[in-house]
A and B are shown apart, each in its own frame.
Chain A
């Protein structure tokens, strides 16, 4: 009887949510990266294909806490303070941090890193320079202090510093060769570089001198470069890889779950990626706001979300700011925007009326250019063609290989084009930047110039008061998507990450850039 009671007690204790397994040291985590890194330099690249294999070799000044995203925590910074006027940020740097070559990290390395990102020398590419326009200069008054002096208070300055692309590099190397990091690895991170075979794999091994006591748990990691979806699925099913950190489709998830049963876990999160339709406002009738409003009114986002979320990694309905984020427009306001109402019949009647008013005849034909990537572009394109057909429009769906698709968008060679945006944070400075006037933003493919939008963008960027900033952001969204309908949001993406349960310590975030956080992952077997 006592034995039974003990067994029951043990079972209850093991099943209790508070009883977590202790991290175990050892093992190699093998995972999949579905594209190739163009270079190894975080400051110049914009793709996860570089981040996923390269990130574990580096640290950041501050970083996003993947367990509590979007909370920002110190990484190389022990602490930081901001001045009352929000124009001076002082960071205290940890002592005793070593680069993989044995040299000691100081504030000089932090300053050199951010000087490269914010004030790049001639010939050095910095892909994120533009988001640090508030920074006037960076100082390193002593080896443990870094000061950022800003021209104006920027509400999300610390979050921007936490960009997963901001690897901290070594000042001496940057001084000698600012392009060194395009082809080489030299960081302070939890894993040291072992080898990279282009198209095949990337290997890292534990940094035994890592400054965070007891970390990392893994002996090493191996990233396998697999672009074919069927090969990726086979690798996951066979256990040759335990996870792919970007995301799979619902069908792929179901396939893995049915094959692997309780060996696999699935986490899902709204994704900071979306599908947009850019309208070429330089062309008729896309230069007519009535036509553009009709196009957005015709699309049943709520119905589309329910249907498409079963077959594609599309789902959440939202405006420019990610649904579910602190900046998102409340649903009560969202449903007032053109195309977001719950009554699709009424919306389509209004769309037909606007088409008549704009002089667009029944059966009018135009082209929707789309990227020839199956997920989620293809189902979204098919969905849009069907939606517009229901208000009497005839749309030709043209799927293009990526390079041609980008070239046509940038050249304005399209009628309507499926566009997208993905980023590492929800901040409006990042999310709205695409939609300011074409002579301000190179990512505005619609070709319109709207100084009201520009003014709203720059005002929100300098507004520290959160409520006021939100008001400006929503005003921007209303003008963009409803009043002027320069572009339309189709649906936001939903991240689905299946992974072998042997991988512990993993938590999905709203984006595939801040992952993988290999520092604290461990393997239970």
Chain B
């Protein structure tokens, strides 16, 4: 196990480096310039000299290889650089938003798992019954309705029925849990519902497969109770693919809540990514992509470890 963890950890560095190279080059081929956006967008008359001086100040006039080298040296020192838009350290900008996105992703995951595992199990156990039909309807609706749309509906409902809108300014959980939950519960529900739909279907189909296995039949033959068979024998094995889906969805949520964050005006990583790309804030985009990539790598890693815990037959070596 420790050897596996060590090998995986060694792979993280080249993966992150590849992401850094890719993002650096991709951003440089995308047309548009942060200096023009800042100085000319308001429609004002700014001389070419002023624009050139600003480009030089930001180092954008230097050869590409020089800029890349500078970036790599920074990364080696664990320095993500300064945001070209705000001048603040990129790590600080991301840190401010990461807490919100992580909390929202965790809340959505908890909601999804809390709904999906029991519903998926019920649907599989009572296959073909009205329970199964109802769960199928629930999950198909969840897959069909985008989270942002559900979010808009939730906001409209709260506004028109209760004249209530969740607070617009983020309060950290440790500062005021009530205000924090009042703000995040609605987007977490919107995202969690769609997420649960995917996971419910996966739980149902995985469990159906396991319930056909010989060892389950043996358990039935031994006269074990249904709850024992499902909980102890079938569900544990059926959860393997479910855990994979949960892990990947969670990793996606860290950077993928773009539209939901816009709808609920949440100051998270997704909204920051959209801003950074629209502003051509190269350093911030690079930092964000590294964080999102690290999130994916970490989530995959956790999934692999969970695999081993759920199924002792899986060995590492």
Contact = CB atoms under 8 A, between A and B. Distances in A.
A46 B41 contact: yes
B280 A131 contact: no
Contact of B87 (A39, A224, A401): A39
Interface string B221-259: 000000000000000000000000000000000000000
Interface in A408-428: 408, 410, 420-423
Given A237-B159, A403-B278, A128 B44 contact: yes
A374 to B, nearest CB: 14
Given A226-B168, A403-B37, A407-B32, A199 B46 contact: no
A199 B168 CA distance: 11
A48 interface: yes
A441 interface: yes
B96 to A, nearest CB: 7
Contacts of B163: 238
B36 interface: yes
Of B42, B47, B152, B164, most buried by chain A (CB within 10 Å of CB) is B42
Nearest to B86: A198
B155 interface: yes
Interface string A164-190: 000000000000000000110000000
Interface residues of B, number: 51
B38 A231 contact: no
A496 B285 CA distance: 35
A9 B198 CA distance: 69
A443 interface: yes
B155 to A, nearest CB: 5
Contacts of A198: 86, 88, 93, 96, 267
Interface residues of A, number: 55
A183 B87 contact: yes
A283 interface: no
B98 interface: no
Of B48, B169, B271, most buried by chain A (CB within 10 Å of CB) is B169
10 contacts: A45-B42, A46-B38, A230-B155, A238-B165, A403-B33, A406-B33, A406-B36, A408-B31, A433-B45, A442-B48
Given A125-B39, A227-B271, A240-B165, 19 more contacts: A36-B279, A38-B38, A38-B85, A39-B87, A123-B53, A123-B57, A130-B46, A131-B45, A183-B88, A198-B86, A200-B170, A234-B159, A237-B159, A238-B165, A240-B168, A403-B33, A404-B32, A408-B31, A422-B42
Interface of A: 36, 38-39, 44-48, 122-123, 125-131, 182-183, 197-201, 224, 226-228, 230-231, 234-235, 237-238, 240-241, 273, 401-404, 406-408, 410, 420-423, 430, 433-434, 441-443
